[in-house]
Structure 1
Amino acid sequence: MTDPLEMRPVTAEGETFEIFDVGAGRPVLLLHGAAGDWRTLAPHCRILSADRRAMTYTQRHFGTRAWKAESHPFGIETHARDLIGIAEAQALGPIHIVAWSYAGHAALRAAQLRPDLFKAMLIYESGFQTFMTDPKEIDAFKTSIESMFGPVFEAYRTGDHVGALKALVDGSANRHGFFDTQPEESRKIQLDNAHTMALLLSQTPPPRITAEDLGKLEVPVTIVTGEQSLLAYQLVAAAAMRAIGGDHHRKLPGKNHFWPDEDPEGFARFIAEWMDSN
């Protein structure tokens, strides 16, 4: 159960966001991926709160509440500007950001627009490939992502949003039937977000962040991927690693796209170690 005092309102981009905020010390803000909300990363925040201040929130259009959609359509640009507004409103100084999956590109866009707000960023498996340049890798990415999204669109076209959600989770995990093997709480959060499938599949085009743009980022960015993840995620991560440069990126043995959800303690420990070196 959540203590009401752990949730606090922050206004950004014309909307009030409820921030889950626990602990004290160096601040870090965690961003969930598709079919998630603040509950997805709350366990990680609780673990991190032992010796730092950890926060997360439900990004616009996700979760169980009603959102104003007219001037802020679902898409990377909207979520990036919300992140900027939230970071700015909290006046904490440059803050560490951890972004998982869909949120990764939004975090990179926010870093591009307002580098002064962010101390460093950890991106775990973003799915957008605007910065890929190698034709063979781009073709391989397309083949991988199409095989993943084929069942998603097939279910969606029949009006089966729950089926589309399950196909997305299975495809993202690179494991057939993965959805049904998850803990009940994880499935509940994802099912509560089944309504976002229509938004996700018709979102506004992502900003074209190029390889050159990544190389010019002023915010230190660490890219992480799992060696058992879908090839599409691994290819995007590899391209980002090359564009950003340095030897601080990681490809983790035995991990897949849902490592943060499957092992909150391990992922939180990784975040803490990353923060200590950034």
Structure 2
Amino acid sequence: MPNIAKTLATAAACIAVLFGCQTVPTPRTMHVNGFELPYVVEGQGIPVVFIHGGVSDYRTWDRQRAALAARGYQAISYTQRYFGPEPWVQSWPAFGIQTHADDLVSFLRGLSVGPVHLVAWSYGGQTALAVALDHPELVKSAFVFEPSHPTFVTDPAQLKALSDDGAAYAGPVVQAVRSGDNALAVKRLIDGVGERPSYFDAQSAATQAVQLDSAHSMAVIFDEKNVRQISCEQLAKIKRPVAIARGGQVRPYFRIIADEAARCLQRGGPIVVPGQKHMWPSEDAAGFAATVDEFLARK
């Protein structure tokens, strides 16, 4: 007999996600490597930690976190160093994947909840993969949607396609960064990964505000000097279950990286979401949460 209480709770969460009416938990902070890391916790159960992408923070996951909390998980999202509205500190380590991976390791240890499931999107994907590789004792599994760092891609034809498509969407972003207009750079970045003109403007005011709160990170994102190099051979050595997912209609840059990551992991191809692109987790929060839940239920 089905669990009626859980079914009703899940239905309520789906309605809340669709209409944006869920109550957001009160943010907390944890001192992590000289950084007051903001985070929120919602629900009870097996812990799931969300890792956001560029020009994002813990608020990016509000609807997805609420949906998973209603499905019986303790859902946690946090803001990575250099993102969000918090001021920077000169003594911080350099911006980059290794810094963010070190922070995540300390954060997971500070939570004291045991191994967690990681859910990552875009820029956060490499952070999740680095922690799963280096610290399997902290990770139950990882669900990564369209990672953005191609360090494991080596085929010359794929690298050329990556370079061509990356230049097509990121070129205008870099121009705005170099001109000192970080807000314009954010808008161009979101238009590029959203794959249509004025994608940024079509979003809700709340979503735009979250993205613009991280506008000051644009210069360091596109001048990253602390990239964590993860090879295909290293991906194959990850001991925990890892799912790589991508949209069925995503631009070549993200498609190539996701497909190659899945190949390197040697656990079948990526999870392909028909008709979707890079912004799917935001466009269909309920569908994204359901896909994550389906993956986690098998772990």
- TM-score, normalised by the number of residues in structure 1: 0.95
Q: Which residue of 2 aligns with 1:227?
A: 248
Query: Aligned match of 2:52 in 5, 27, 32?
Result: 32
Is 1:262 matched up with 2:255?
no
Contact 2:25 2:42 survives alignment (8 Å): no
Q: Which residue of 2 aligns with 1:167?
A: 188
Measured in 2, the distance between the counterparts of 1:20 and 1:87 equals 13
Contact 1:6 1:22 survives alignment (8 Å): no
Q: Which moved more, 1:6-15 or 1:211-220?
A: 6-15
Q: Which residue of 1 aligns with 2:100?
A: 79
SS of residue paired to 1:251: strand
Distance 1:8 1:205, change over 3 A: closer
SS of residue paired to 1:207: coil
What is the CA-CA distance between 1:69 and the residue it aligns to?
4.1
Contact 1:20 1:42 survives alignment (8 Å): no
Q: Which residue of 2 aligns with 1:47?
A: 67
Measured in 1, the distance between the counterparts of 2:220 and 2:81 equals 11
Measured in 2, the distance between the counterparts of 1:192 and 1:18 equals 14
Cα deviation digits, residues 186-205 of structure 1 (max 9, x gap): 11111111111112122224
Measured in 2, the distance between the counterparts of 1:189 and 1:86 equals 22
Q: Which residue of 2 aligns with 1:193?
A: 214
Q: Which runs of 5+ in 1 are unaligned?
A: none
The one-letter amino acid of 1:30's match is: F
Distance 1:132 1:176, change over 3 A: same
Q: Which runs of 5+ in 2 are unaligned?
A: 1-20
Identical aligned pairs, as a percentage? 35
Distance 1:168 1:186, change over 3 A: same
Q: Which residue of 2 aligns with 1:12?
A: 32
Contact 2:259 2:270 survives alignment (8 Å): no
Measured in 1, the distance between the counterparts of 2:31 and 2:177 equals 33
Q: Which residue of 1 aligns with 2:81?
A: 60
What is the CA-CA distance between 1:3 and the residue it aligns to?
7.3
SS of residue paired to 1:130: coil
SS of residue paired to 1:222: strand
Q: Which residue of 1 aligns with 2:229?
A: 208
Contact 2:95 2:226 survives alignment (8 Å): no
Q: Which residue of 1 aligns with 2:273?
A: 252
Query: Aligned match of 2:163 in 142, 159, 179?
Result: 142
Cα deviation digits, residues 58-108 of structure 1 (max 9, x gap): 111111112324232211111111111111111211100001000001111
Measured in 2, the distance between the counterparts of 1:131 and 1:69 equals 32
The one-letter amino acid of 1:104's match is: G
Contact 1:173 1:229 survives alignment (8 Å): no
Structure 1 stretches of at least 4 aligned residues deviating more than 3 Å after TM superposition: 1-6
Q: Which moved more, 1:167-176 or 1:23-32?
A: 167-176
Provide the alpha-carbon RMSD of the alignment. 1.7
Contact 2:194 2:277 survives alignment (8 Å): yes
SS of residue paired to 1:224: strand
Contact 1:173 1:230 survives alignment (8 Å): no
What is the CA-CA distance between 1:242 and the residue it aligns to?
0.6
What is the CA-CA distance between 1:4 and the residue it aligns to?
8.9
Is 1:133 matched up with 2:133?
no
Cα deviation digits, residues 83-139 of structure 1 (max 9, x gap): 111111112111000010000011111112211100000010111101012111111
- TM-score, normalised by the number of residues in structure 2: 0.89
